[in-house]
Structure formats: C-alpha cells, structure tokens
Amino acid sequence: MSVEMTEPARARDRNAGQAVPSSLILVADADLEAARKLALPVALCVGGAEGFVLEGRGVPADLVHGAALGVLVLSRAGAAAVEAMAAGWLARFGVSLPDRLDLSEERAGARREAALSWIADVLLAQRQGAARRAVALMRDMAALRREHEAMQAAFARLEAHAFHHRLSERKLLMALAPVEGSPVAELPSGAEMVQRLPGGSVGLSDLAVRIAEVPQPRQGVLTCRLESPDLGRELAEWTLPAAQLSSGWLRLSLVRGLEEDPVGLQLRLGWSGAVPLRLATAMAHPDPRFRPQTGGGTPVGRHVLAMEIWHYLPGVRAPASATGRLPDGEMEAGPGMRRLEARDLLRAINLDTLARDMTPVQGGGALLVHVMPEQVACAILPLPLAGPRQVSVDVMTRNAKGPVVEYAIAVLPAAMRPKRPGALPDFPEEAHSGWVRMKPMRAGQVTLILPDLPAAEHDLYLMTRLPPGATSNAYGWSGFSSVVLHV
C-alpha cells in the first residue's frame, strides 16, 4: 500500500530543512502586524496551536526553542493566544515560555523604545551567560587535559618500569617447526610468496620464517611485508640484503604488539637474487588457503612455511629482542636497548670443546657455566648485533649449598675466537668487566661498558671461577641470564 503525500505536507518538509535565525521573538498571530510596524532588528515568529511560522514558512519547534529570545505581547487578543502557546510549550519541552514583554497597555509611540531596551537586556544576559559557560567549559577542558596528560604520563612510567625491569616479555605463542624430510619452498628471483598467518592478530609482536639455505652467491634483497587483507593495507615492511641473511630463523619484530581489533594477517615475501631463496616448511595443511601461495594465488606445495609467532600486550611497546629485525624506519624501543632471550643463550659455545654443548640451569632460564676448580669455565656467545656499547648480564649461583663464585664477562671480535679448545684469550683491559664475587642464591649483575667498536661481529665471553684458595665446586650451578645489549 502506498501513501500519497499531500502538497501541504511536502511544503512543510521542504520548509523544515530551511535555516532559522539564531535569534527570534515569538508573537501571536493577532499581534504580527503591530509587531512588524515596530521594525525590530530581530525576526518575528508566529506561534500557535498548529506550530510555528516564520516569514510564511513552517519551522520545527525544536529550532524555535533554541532561538527564541522571548515573547512580545501587543494586545489582549495576543495575550490570550500566548497563554495557549505557553501551555503547548510546557507540554512539549517541559519548561515555561521565555520571558515575555507585555506592551498592550503601552502607548504606540513608546512601544519600539521599550521593545528595543528589552531585547538589549535579554541579549546581554544571554551573552553574559554564554561567556560564563565558555569560561567554565575552558576550565573543565583544561582540567580534563591535565588529567589526561597525567594519566598518559603515568602509563608511560608504568610501561617504562615494566620494560626496564623485565616484568614482562614477548611470549612465543606458536611454533611451526620444520618437519624432517618436508620439501623446501623455493622463492624464485623476481617472484613473491604469500603465507597466511595462523592464530589471532591481537598482540602479535614478532613472526619468524626459517631460511633453509643461505643463497650463494649472497646477492639480492629479501622484502618482507606484513599485511592485513581485512584492512586493505600494509602494517610493516622489512628490507633485508642477502648479506644480512643466514641459515636458520629470520625473526621479524614490531615495536609494539598489534592493537585489540582482530584482523586477518598475511606475510608477503619478495626476493631478487641470482638464485632462488629456499625456505623451510612445516606440516602439510589440508586447506589450500593456508598453504604458501605465489603472488598470483597458486598454492606452493602442500606444506606451510615453518614459522614462529610471538605475542605481547596489544598496543604496548614490547622489550626488543636482540635477534629481531625491526621494520624499515623504526627505531629500537628504549635507548638502543635489546634483550637476548633464554633460548638465544643456548647458542653459546663451550670453550673446552668449541662445540655448542652448554646446558641451561634446570628450571632457571639461565645458561649453566658450571664453575670449575683451578681453571676458568667459559662459554662463548656470538652476539647478534654489531658494535655494542654496553653489555649487562644477570648472574646467580642457583643452589644454597654452592660455593662463592666469581663472575666476569668480556667482548672480543669474532675473528679472535680461539681455535684450540680451552685456550682462553688474553683480554684487553677495556674489553673485560673484572671479576664480581657472589654468594650462592644472591642475585647480581655484571656490566661492561665498551669503547667504540668496529661494525663487525663480536663474541660475548661468559666466565666463572672459584675465589683464590677455594677448591670445591660442588653445587656450583653458576648461571648467566637476561643479557641486555645497548647499541
């Protein structure tokens, strides 16, 4: 069923959208002609039971309510009509009509002067009220701004406290390890590969893919883009020359965990080089949408890329990992501070065997460099960052029955790494921290501030020994943890 709109209704709708003056005076229809003769500098609006009319067009009552300065009465008939108008106004808005000026008994020659004086008083009162409200609003805004800034500063201090005191860290949420015997995924030169990421996006802070083989010759550039198809835009980009690539996990880090709005994510890899780039793969996936695809959308084999995914607090600056690559144009979180995670410590080389056979302290998240009698025990940890300015390492002998242990660290170029097992280098004074003596179960820290080092690979030496005169190393579970690099 259709409803035919009448011409008056169309006219009313057309007029309703027209502008209404910021100030107007209400009059009864019986007083309109007399009010016009006063030639007042304010628009006249006729009010009645049917609504409001301004210059022959209907206007919405809500707009009249906001613009009305007052009601002008010029006759007894007008006064009666205003009473009816007042009842309707009260019923509609729940307030009385604005102030009224009754000039029905005033002589004609004095009406205009009285009306002008009344309008001036009303406008002045309105302006004063508006000024007071504006001042109060500005004060409230200033107080709100101060509270907001104080809150932001408090959150910044809390974030900095958590960051510097390691109250939280990036958590490894998902690890799709390479499957023995699974085929590698080849990325030809000039091609792209897209891998849909598993899990949720909220708080994602790092993702890693595994390079199966370093391309030889080491020429070319790998471009990694984190994208959200839902948002239709790129979230981060990493540009990595082939000379910076190595076999193993390539960790791509964000400065902050992604925001709380969940979106789909994908990693787009682009490669330009003399030979294809070979990437390790994990388990086979039955759904082609989750397999790696070419830039044109064709699946590349049945196996997903080997990946690791870390999460942190959404939207919060995360403590930077020393092994992570930050996006192009991003600076390290904090003053060039990067942390080595507990798993990175297992890359350490045993000086006695020149093999990676060091073990962690059981349940402690620390690398065990068990103190030895009559010799220095030492682990050599290749540093993932070139030219550190300062190195700090937490130390503790993690057994109450253990001996007093002395701890030290040193930094040397990787080219000076010993070639013979057990051959401890002679460390220059500026490259050695000196020995720090610690009682068992007492937390401590060893710090080394370095001169300007060349931009080359360096090793961190983690050393323990017994104090002079001590002979027993029983329960000497001497461990190093929480390596912090300043670059």
DSSP-derived 3-state class of residue 275: coil
* 297 found inside a domain: yes
* Same domain, yes or no: 366 and 260: no
* Same domain, yes or no: 310 and 396: no
Residue that terminates a domain, selected from 330, 365, 388: 330
Q: Which residues contact 413 (CB under 8 A, 6 or more apart)?
A: 454, 456, 457, 458, 459
* Same domain, yes or no: 307 and 200: yes
Q: Which residues contact 448 (CB under 8 A, 6 or more apart)?
A: 390, 391, 392, 409, 410, 411, 431, 432, 433
What does the pLDDT read at residue 168?
A: 61
CATH number reported for the structural domain that contains residue 198 in this entry? 2.60.120
Q: How far apart are the first and last CA of the chain?
A: 77
The structure tokens listed for 368 are: 């065990």
CATH number reported for the structural domain that contains residue 480 in this entry? 2.60.120.260
Q: Name the E strands within 383-432.
A: 390-397, 405-413
* 143 found inside a domain: no
* Same domain, yes or no: 317 and 398: no
* Same domain, yes or no: 176 and 323: yes
What does the pLDDT read at residue 367?
A: 94
* Same domain, yes or no: 206 and 59: no
* 199 found inside a domain: yes
Q: Which residues contact 72 (CB under 8 A, 6 or more apart)?
A: 25, 26, 27, 31, 35, 44, 100, 101, 103, 115
* Same domain, yes or no: 113 and 188: no
* 315 found inside a domain: yes
Per-residue model confidence as pLDDT tens digits over 331-359: 654 457 788 888 889 899 999 999 999 99
Residue that terminates a domain, selected from 288, 308, 330: 330
Residue that terminates a domain, selected from 124, 143, 162: 124
**Distances from the Cα of 194 to the Cαs of 31, 154, 187, 247, 305, in angstroms?**
78, 41, 10, 20, 10
What does the pLDDT read at residue 18?
A: 54
Q: Residues in the chain with pLDDT < 70? A: 1-18, 49, 159-168, 331-335, 364
* Same domain, yes or no: 324 and 351: no
* Same domain, yes or no: 178 and 107: no
* Same domain, yes or no: 285 and 378: no
H/E run at residue 483? strand 478-486
- How many other CB atoms are found less than 10 A from the CB of residue 88? 16
For 107-138, what is the HEC assignment? CHHHHHHHHHHHHHHHHHHHHHHHHHHHHHHH
Q: Please tell me the distance from the alpha carbon of residue 256 to that of residue 449, in angstroms, as a whole number.
A: 28
* Structural domains of the chain, count: 3
* 63 found inside a domain: yes
* 196 found inside a domain: yes
* 375 found inside a domain: yes
What does the pLDDT read at residue 164?
A: 58
* Same domain, yes or no: 350 and 324: no
* Same domain, yes or no: 294 and 442: no
Cβ(262)–Cβ(201) under 8 Å? yes
Per-residue model confidence as pLDDT tens digits over 122-162: 888 888 988 999 999 999 999 999 999 998 888 777 766 66
Backbone angles phi, psi at 471, to 5 degrees: -125, -20
Which structural domain range is residue 322 located in?
171-330
Q: DSSP string of 283-347? A: EE-SSGGGS-EETTS-B-SSEEEPEEEEE-SBTSBPPPBTTEEPPTTPPPSTTTEEEE-HHHHTT
